[in-house]
Amino acid sequence: MGFLLAASLQGQEVAAIAIGLGSLVTIVIVVISLSLRHESKKRQLRHAERMKAFETGQPMPEGEVARATALGFIGVLVPLAAIGIGIGATAMLWHEDASALEYNYGLLKIIWLVCGGLAAATAVTCINALRRVGPFGEELDKVRSQRAAAHDKPI
pLDDT tens-digit series, residues 13-70: 777 788 888 888 899 999 999 999 999 998 898 888 888 887 888 766 666 677 778 8
* Number of domains the chain is built from: 2
Same domain, yes or no, for 73 and 141?
yes
Q: What is the pLDDT of residues 62-103, one digit of tens each?
A: 666 777 788 889 989 999 999 999 999 888 887 777 676 677
- Indicate if 81 and 107 belong to the same structural domain: yes
Instruction: Among 57, 83, 100, identify where a domain stops.
Output: 57
- pLDDT one-digit tens code per residue, 114-149: 999 999 999 999 888 887 765 455 555 666 677 777
50 with 125, same domain: the answer is: no
pLDDT more than 90, % of the chain: 27
Same domain, 27 and 89: no
What is the overall mean pLDDT for the chain?
79
The domain in which residue 119 lies consists of 62-152
Q: Where on the phi/psi map is residue 134: left (φ > 0), alpha (ψ -120 to 50), or beta?
A: beta
Q: Rounded distance, CA 94 to CA 107, Å?
A: 12
Do 70 and 122 share a domain, yes or no?
yes
Answer yes or no: are the C-beta atoms of 20 and 108 closer than 8 Å: no
pLDDT band, very low/low/confident/very high, at 112 (cuts 50, 70, 90): very high
Q: How many CA atoms lie within 13 A of 74 on its CB side?
A: 16
- 61 closest CA partner among 140, 129, 149: 140
> How high is the pLDDT of residue 93?
81
Q: Which has the closest alpha carbon to 144: 79, 66, 86, 61?
A: 61
Q: Which DSSP letter does residue 60 get?
A: P
Question: Do 52 and 68 belong together in one domain?
Answer: no
Kindly state whether residues 135 and 73 are assigned to the same domain.
yes
Are residues 135 and 101 part of one domain?
yes
